[in-house]
Amino acid sequence: MITSSFQLISQLIRLSYFPHIKIIYTSRRFRGHVYMPFANWLLMIGIVVVTAIYNNTTSLGYAYGTCAITVCFLTTCMVSLVALIIWRVHLLIVLLIFLVFILLDGVYLSAALSKVPQGAWFALVLSFLLSALLSLWRWGKEQQWAAECQDRIILPERPISQNSSHNISRASSRDIRENSSACQLAYDNILFAPGLGIFFDKAGGPSDHIPEVFTHFVHKFRTRPQVVIFFHMRSLSRPTIPADQRFVIARVNSNIPSCYHIVLRHGYMDDVLTSNLTRIVIGELMMFIMRDSFEPSEDELPSDIRQELESLRAAEDTQTIYLISKQILRAQKKDGNCIKCLMRRGALGVYLWIRENFNGRLTNLDIDPESLVEVGFIKEI
């Protein structure tokens, strides 16, 4: 029962119906073997509460019986829908089998519901609370996704000039302009700061995708690192990924010099957030740059490739900064005090409170806190 609860919660997390909590995979052979410390504590607290509420096993049996027969009733309905939609079974065959089972389940369910005052009410209340929580979280995520989709990034039409020196230099192009539906990424008096900046891209996307954290960083500080890496971690449904197959690297755009998009593909048993992450990323990036030249050694590389490698080494030697987005969401204030608006703001308030109290996996990143920068921005939903 406990193991199945962990598995169900992990599926809810993947479907965005439950907040992300820590998941520990205990088997390399079976992905479903998971352990969740936070969920384990919740189950313990729930057992204590149930024991305190029920003072006899008879009332507890009423609650368990109502829960079991309700699951059977819902299973009959869902299997019938699957038979019609997925399996494409004839309607008359499905209807005949459905009527037989639904009559039996209906009789048992009506008998179980008659015991609601004697203790079966607890199962109904618990199911209502869990359904409300799952529906609220999914609805809140959809509202957040809709707000994030309004920010489109348009790459600049003209290339950005870069000074070959390692000091702060200026780039010339147009300003950053934002409106309600799009964000124009361009530059006017943007400074090139020495060093390497690794921007964590939570959403991921194609090779020309510009993460939101980079846009807000440039907009607020009017500067960008000498070398920019958009770093995205993608978890796969395999226990481990070979080291030579983990990294997918591409240049972001020819108009943005020294800017790369790196995807780290990892299995659920791989520990990739380690202290030597920077060294591994730089090594893979250098191999990618040299492979583009199709030359056997660095001495025979073209001058532009050698200059690119030297710039990367100089940026790494100067400093390496990890930049993570700190997205602060708040409910949008709409005109009117109608009941619907108040209910929407209240539901969003609960969703945002739950979201703020559940940390993501990037909080476990094993790096020097002095090298970590959080770029905060406010988004209304």
pLDDT band of residue 188 (cuts 50, 70, 90) is low
Stretch 42-69: mean pLDDT: 88
Strand-pair category, 24-25 with 169-171: unpaired
Average pLDDT over residues 73-85: 95
Q: Could you say which of 148, 171, 192 is where a domain stops?
A: 148
Report pLDDT for 291.
81
* Percentage helix, strand, coil for the chain under 3-state DSSP, each rounded to 5: 50, 20, 30
303 domain residue, yes or no: yes
Q: What percent of the chain clears pLDDT 90, i.e. is strictly above it?
A: 35
Q: In whole angstroms, give the CA distance from residue 259 to residue 162.
A: 12
- Note the pLDDT tens digit of each residue in 282-292: 999 998 988 87
Residues 117, 201, single domain; the answer is no
Residue 185: inside a domain: yes
| pLDDT averaged over every residue in the chain | 82
Mean pLDDT of 343-372: 80
Examine the domain organization and report whether 211 and 143 are in the same domain.
no
Q: Both tokens of residue 38? A: 């936070």
The confidence score (pLDDT) of residue 99 equals 96
Nearest CA to 227 out of 303, 324, 165, 314 is that of 314
Task: Tell me what pLDDT residue 128 has.
Answer: 94
Q: 99 in a domain, yes or no?
A: yes
In a domain, 351, yes or no: no
Is residue 164 scored above 60 in pLDDT? no
For residues 213 and 137, state if they share a domain.
no
Domain C-terminal end among 148, 169, 195: 148
List the single range of 159-168, 201-210, 368-377 with lowest mean pLDDT.
159-168
Question: Considering its fold, how many domains does the chain have in total?
Answer: 2
35 and 179 part of one domain: no
Separation between Cα atoms, residue 67 and residue 123, nearest integer Å: 6
* Per-residue pLDDT tens over the stretch 307-341: 888 999 999 899 999 999 888 888 887 766 688 88
Q: Are residues 122 and 228 in the same domain?
A: no
Predicted confidence at residue 183, as pLDDT, reads: 44
- Are 228 and 138 in the same domain? no
| 212-233 average pLDDT score | 89
> What's the pLDDT at 36?
93
Residue 167 binned pLDDT confidence (cut-offs 50, 70, 90): very low
Q: Across residues 126-139, what is the average pLDDT?
A: 94
Residue 307 pLDDT = 86
Closest CA to 334 of 325, 326, 344, 324: 344
Instruction: Provide the residue range defining the domain that includes 124.
Output: 2-148
In a domain, 338, yes or no: no
Among 148, 183, 198, the domain boundary falls at: 148
The first and second tokens of residue 322, run together, are: 């990890």
Same domain, 374 and 249: yes
Domain assignment present for residue 89? The answer is yes
φ, ψ (nearest 5 deg) of residue 235: -85, 135
Q: Given this model, what pLDDT does residue 195 score? A: 92
Spatial distance between the Cα atoms of 246 and 266, rounded to a whole number of angstroms: 6
Same domain, 196 and 313: yes
Strand order through the sheet with 177-178 = 153-154, 183-184, 177-178
- Whether the predicted pLDDT of 169 surpasses 60: no
